[in-house]
Chains A and B, each alone.
Chain A
Amino acid sequence: MRTEIEKIKETTPHQDLTEGLMVFAGGTSKVVQTGEWRTNTPVFYAEKCKQCLLCAPVCPDSSIPIKEGKRGEFDYEHCKGCGICEKACPFGAIEMKGGVD
């Protein structure tokens, strides 16, 4: 039953689709840009950030990337603007602003 999802296209006959359209892969949400659903946007002030990393684990959309132990700029292609990170930051390094950008 396991099918390589890359082989499934919009022209694939019904017999070759997966059962219940099950997707046999992980992390497939990365390829879909869902950040545009946002109505509020977090702004990151790097100069106030102490790199305590309290913000990253509370992000429901994994939109705070961490590289070599340090957080970077938000992944705005997937951030939904929920504002949890702003509440988690003890140093005022994240501020929610209205709008998508």
Chain B
Amino acid sequence: MAIKGRMSGNEAVSYAIRQVNPDVMPAFPITPSTEIPQMVSNYIANGEMDTEFIPVESEHSSMSAAIGAEAAGARSLTATSSAGLALMWEELLLAASNRLPLVMTLVNRTLSGPININCDHSDGMGARDTGWIQIYAENNQEAYDNFIQAYPIAEHAKVHLPVMICQDGFITSHAVENITLMEDELVKDFVGEYQPEEFLLNPGKPIAVGPYSVSNYAMEAKKNQEDAMVQAKEVILQVAEAFEKISGRKYGFFEEYRLEDAEYIMLIMGSAAGTAKEAVDELREKGKKVGILKLRVFRPFPAEEIAKALSKAKAVAILDRCESYHGTGGPLGEEVMAALFRSKVSIEAVNYIYGLAGRDFTVDHAKEVFGELESMITKGIRPEQFQYIGLRK
């Protein structure tokens, strides 16, 4: 039977890590993810799990050690945030190109500068082209559930790619909310034992991982890596379906919140989706046809599925918790608009930037955005593209 609890996002993910009990966890502390290796260390010290914890000297080392352990044949894990993820940059690409199914719990925090420890998605978005699968959570429950699904996705024979399980720094990672947990045995059975086909510490079956590749091979290897990312879409849905059977909680590439007849849609990712849902509920009571598309799986990017879900709307607001500094908005804005164009879905689309470095995003902000979408369609007043929500002017 499900266990009712109250936990922060970091507690929830640490609880899931204890249940999965991976073989090796190298980690280096960085706010706001520090609690995760700290709590895991406590579990290990208390004899509740037997993961080999490696206290390393930097995130460059934690990712390198996770890669080494995974290549050796161990189920590996690390946790980080912000500048820690940035320091892993080179190794992130190696983990993916060497096709190592390790998992990282990312607690999203802004990147400097100005130096700041609060939430936005600039760390995860900065790693968007490193070849990692990226799954984002709205709350502690989703962070817990997503972590339990991470290894079955990563280790699937059609995938063999690393997975990043993302939650919003402080807002999700440190806020205590109700949660429904699963029994240890149920989680262990779902995730299973890691049985790699090929690994370094395999006597009599020598291999070389990550060899130098001349130009005649490297491009083919990259194509195979891309194919695996595309195949991951099917696997992510299969794992979600299997997870629903044991948990009763349904997951897909995104959540469609009151979208059935929605004319105005907000596309948003992470904890702010909860705030936006409240705005939708209030506006729906006033008869406004509004809804939320909450993106969960950012990599692989479900372009066609998003375009289809938006196709019947009059206008969409795409909310980025990240600035790309190229004059045309944020990463979600770019990719969603490209998806709409390729699928020939001609609706109005406005890209907003919100919540940078922990700036509040309120129910009133979300209502204003819906108001702007409506004015654009009914009164022809075009809102400013790429505007900052809540900016002092």
- Identify the A interface with B (CB < 8 A): 1-2, 10, 12-15, 17, 19-28
Contact = CB atoms under 8 A, between A and B. Distances in A.
Contact of A20 (B97, B197, B205, B216): B97
B208 A23 contact: yes
B160 interface: yes
B209 A17 contact: no
Contacts of A25: 206-208
Q: Which 10 A-B pairs have the closest CB atoms?
A: A26-B206, A14-B220, A20-B99, A23-B208, A10-B216, A20-B98, A14-B223, A19-B99, A21-B221, A21-B213
Contact of A22 (B208, B216, B220, B223): B208
A1 B160 CA distance: 12
Interface in B144-184: 160
Contacts of B223: 14
24 contacts: A1-B198, A2-B205, A14-B220, A14-B223, A15-B224, A17-B221, A17-B224, A19-B224, A20-B97, A20-B98, A20-B221, A21-B211, A21-B217, A22-B99, A22-B208, A22-B209, A22-B211, A23-B207, A23-B208, A24-B198, A24-B205, A24-B207, A26-B206, A27-B206
B210 interface: yes
Nearest to A9: B216
Contacts of B220: 12-14, 17
Nearest to B208: A23
Interface centre among A14, A21, A24 (most CB of B within 10 A): A21
**Highest count of chain B CB atoms <10 Å: which of A1, A19, A27, A28:** A19
A22 B224 contact: no
A17 B217 contact: yes
B211 A1 contact: no
Contacts, number: 56
A36 to B, nearest CB: 16
The DSSP consensus for interface residues of chain A is loop
Interface residues of B, number: 22
B41 to A, nearest CB: 31
B221 A22 contact: no
Interface of B: 97-100, 160, 197-198, 205-211, 213, 216-217, 220-221, 223-225
A1 B197 contact: yes
A28 B210 CA distance: 13
A10 B217 contact: yes
A12 to B, nearest CB: 8
A17 B209 CA distance: 14
Nearest to A16: B220
A42 to B, nearest CB: 26
Given A1-B197, A14-B223, A14-B224, A20 B209 contact: yes
B132 to A, nearest CB: 14
B206 A19 contact: no
Contacts of A20: 97-100, 160, 209-210, 221, 225
B73 to A, nearest CB: 13
Nearest to A10: B216
A70 B220 CA distance: 46
Nearest to A28: B208
A22 B217 contact: no
Contacts of B221: 14, 17, 20-21
A24 B204 CA distance: 11
A15 B227 CA distance: 10
Contacts of A28: 208, 211
B131 to A, nearest CB: 11
A22 B160 CA distance: 13
A22 B197 contact: no
Contacts of B211: 21-23, 28
Contacts of A10: 216-217
Given A20-B98, A21-B211, A22-B98, 15 more contacts: A1-B197, A10-B217, A12-B220, A13-B220, A14-B220, A14-B221, A14-B223, A15-B224, A17-B221, A17-B224, A21-B217, A22-B209, A23-B207, A25-B206, A25-B208
A28 to B, nearest CB: 6
Nearest to A1: B197
